[in-house]
Amino acid sequence: MSRFKIVLHKPLIPGNTGTIGRTCVALDLDLILIKPYGFDLNEKEVRRAGLDYWKYVKLKEFENWSDFLQQENPHNIFFFSKLAKKNIYEANFTPNCYLVFGSETTGLPNSFYNDYPESFYKLPMYSDVIRSLNLANATTAVAYEALRQIEFQNQ
């Protein structure tokens, strides 16, 4: 059974992608990358962040968002952005859902907010001096909350 999948839309920083890949290995999750990237997957920064675990990442790559939608046909998608109105703790994660994160500098495309307005969530940030959280940290926090809801909520 697939717990859920992590989707990175146009990631730019190889170290973040490597770290997220390592989290995916730890939780036995698929990592989906949507091009273009700001780096080459063979870069040593990706491998360094993923350590020797990168070879175990269950990786799928797509040329663009349309290809992803056609091939994966996702039904339960959750998008994460600091601009979202709803808090992550309002999300009801389900098995086989997709957790989508945008690029480190530009986030997700504006069209996503129009196409999926009810599917956006944010991690709480209470300080005015923080513009955003690191992508790898945010992805890991969301992944563990999704895991908690899917596997441990009724125990």
Q: What pLDDT score does 61 carry?
A: 96
pLDDT digits (tens, 9 = 90+) for 68-127: 999 999 989 999 999 999 999 999 999 999 999 999 999 999 999 999 999 999 999 999
* Contact status, residue 107 vs residue 135, Cβ threshold 8 Å: no
* Contact status, residue 19 vs residue 110, Cβ threshold 8 Å: no
Domains plus CATH for the chain? 4-152 (3.40.1280.10)
No. of helices (H) and no. of strands (E), the chain: 5, 7
The reported pTM is 0.93
pLDDT digits (tens, 9 = 90+) for 119-141: 999 999 999 999 899 999 999 99
Q: What pLDDT score does 34 carry?
A: 98
